[in-house]
Amino acid sequence: MPSPKPKARTYALRTKRLALSAILAAMAMIFSYIEALIPLPVPIPGIKLGLANLVIVIAIYRLGFKYAFIINCVRILITGLLFTGLFGAIYSFAGGVLSIVVMYLLYRTGLFSMVGVSMAGGVFHNLGQLLVACLIMSNFKLMSYFAVLLFSGLISGILIGIVAAVLYDKLPHLNV
């Protein structure tokens, strides 16, 4: 039987990537919702587990920057509209964009493990949100809160990175 034409293979590959991206975006939204339901043991403002980042880290490694970025933006937009409102979406978008850019740059160097990439993502997500808060409130004294957010970003980033590394090794490696 003759092999499929290259154009047909390209369409099939795009379709696989699109389907996988839709599944990952849905998973990230579900994780965001679950995270909103889980009370943290320490009720400190701005601290979250970052469960949706699990999907984003895996998407960076599996699909590349473009698809991971789109998945992240779709998740932020929809969960913002459904759960956090306009300002929540703005803060989340700032943190999400900064973190995914930093994670991708670190991934591209090849010097960092998935845990290191995720850890940086957690820290820079918090930094992005705090910078937007400073701009919106015209108060750069809020940056003094970064020490708390730095620590929480490190811890949650490490935990999410460990889970992502374990899951990534167990996921089927489709040619996408």
For domain 6-170, the CATH class is mainly alpha
Is the pTM above the cut of 0.75?
A: yes
Contacts of 78 (CB under 8 A, 6+ apart): 29
- Using only C-alpha atoms, the chain has a radius of gyration, in whole angstroms, of 17
pLDDT digit string, tens, across residues 84-134 = 888 888 989 999 999 999 999 999 999 999 999 999 999 999 999 999 989
8 A C-beta contact, residue 93 and residue 80: yes
Residue type, 38: I
Please give, one letter per residue, the 3-state secondary structure of 66-101. Answer: HHHHHHHHHHHHHHHHHHHHHHHHHHHHHHHHHHHH
Domain ranges of the chain: 6-170
Residue 145 CB-density burial (10 A; 0-12 exposed, 13-18 middle, 19+ buried): middle
Neighbours of 80 (CB within 10 A): 19
8 A C-beta contact, residue 121 and residue 166: no
- Specify the residue for token string 């809020």: 142
- Look at residue 116 and give its three-state secondary structure: helix
pLDDT tens-digit profile, the chain (176 residues): 555 566 777 778 888 889 999 999 999 999 999 988 887 777 777 778 889 999 999 999 999 999 999 999 999 999 988 888 888 889 899 999 999 999 999 999 999 999 999 999 999 999 999 999 899 988 888 888 888 889 999 999 999 999 999 999 888 776 66
Residue type, 152: S
